[in-house]
Amino acid sequence: MKRRLKIVADENICGLQSFERFAEVTRLPGRQINPASLQGVDALLVRSVTQVNEPLLQHSRLRFVGTATSGFDHIDLNYLRQCGIHFAYAPGSNAHAVVQYVFATLAQLMSKAQGDLRKLSLGIVGGGHIGSLLAEYCLRLEMQFVIHDPFLNEQYRFSQYLVSFDEALKQDVLTLHASLDRNGPHPSFHLLNEKTLQQLPANTWLINASRGSVIDGDALLKFFQGRDKAACVLDVWEDEPHIDIELLQAVSLGTPHIAGYSLEGKEQGSAVLYRALLDCFELPSQPDFPLDQGRTLLQAPQTEHAIEQVNQTILAAYDIQRDSQALKELNAAADLAGTFEHLRKNYPLRREFSHYQIKVEDYEEAALQTLLALGFSQAWE
């Protein structure tokens, strides 16, 4: 009888029961995966908290490493190549979730003034899967935007929107979606520092849903001291999970690195690894990875104002203030790192806009068209 595959997986990866159809799966907290846990194991499935490198893998017999994330800066790809270990990741799997996190942020900030998020101009830093998808949303919404990414050129599909970093800093909203690069030709480490932060207009909104170290946290704290109107939203932090409590209390909204944590995003990431692993080990045909196809009807907000209908419907689908409040309740006496990890690990189910249906007759036409452009679907009688 052929031996069943042995897999070690981060316990937070969605749908691991599907892998148990053909493998023995050991679930572990991502930060507790160590060399001893990989002895006799064929495949490793991780998320971003596990550093996959020579110290972890050198005594293993792994043939496959997969990360259920869209980035791979926690993976030593050169070492995997040297060892002939097959690698898979899930580019773009969480892109809709992160983009919708940005729009929930804008809706939360704009709802206080009953403002129209479509009137904002966005400076998008990073034109990869997430930045490009955000650009697509902006086009559908007829929003003004520019993109800064020094690695892109005229072959890029949004090349007409490429600008310098200085130009991106001038927009109403600066939203960061760059990978973390410390040593390349265009390093993103501390891209926003004491000097570049001072270039931001007084009323700029800053959103970071990329990597914490793209912003110099100490410089950001200094920046807040002289900017009463500055709004800042951080989903990622330097030295996670050991976050800066003073910075947490200073930001407008702070969340525990969950911008991409939608059910749909997690399912897509797992589905990519599922298929790649089957191909790598040439396993017999297996059922497709199951995806949730359910829908939920949203009740229309009790307002006839189109702008507020948009803001409140977005926030009904994703209450970002709830996530921020849960994190901001931390205090310096608490186990900050442990609580941060707990909030991430036990994050409540969140669905993307496509999961939600809205009734056409309940909305002003302008609000309806905006919400449909954001991915909400019409409910038909």
Pick the catalytic residue from 47, 148, 238, 240: 240
Give kind and range of the element (H or E) at residue 134: helix 129-141
Residue 240 is among the residues annotated as catalytic for this protein? yes
Closest by Cα among 134, 127, 57, 146 to 98: 134
Q: Is 333 exposed, middle or buried (0-12, 13-18, 19+ CB in 10 A)?
A: exposed
Pick the catalytic residue from 96, 148, 177, 257: 257
Burial readout 15-51 (b: 16 or more C-beta within 10 A, e: otherwise): bbebbeebbebeeeebeebeeeebeebbbbbbbbbbe
Residue 129 is among the residues annotated as catalytic for this protein? no
Report how far residue 44's alpha carbon sits from residue 30's, in angstroms, rounded to the nearest whole number. 11
Report how far residue 289's alpha carbon sits from residue 260's, in angstroms, rounded to the nearest whole number. 20
Closest by Cα among 370, 378, 334 to 140: 370
Residue 246 is among the residues annotated as catalytic for this protein? no
DSSP conformational letter for 208: E
Report CA 258 to chain centroid distance, whole Å: 6
Cβ atoms within 10 Å, residue 251: 22
Pick the catalytic residue from 177, 211, 350, 355: 211
Q: Order across the sheet with 64-67: list the strands.
A: 23-28, 5-10, 43-46, 64-67, 86-89
Catalytic residue ranges: 211, 240, 257
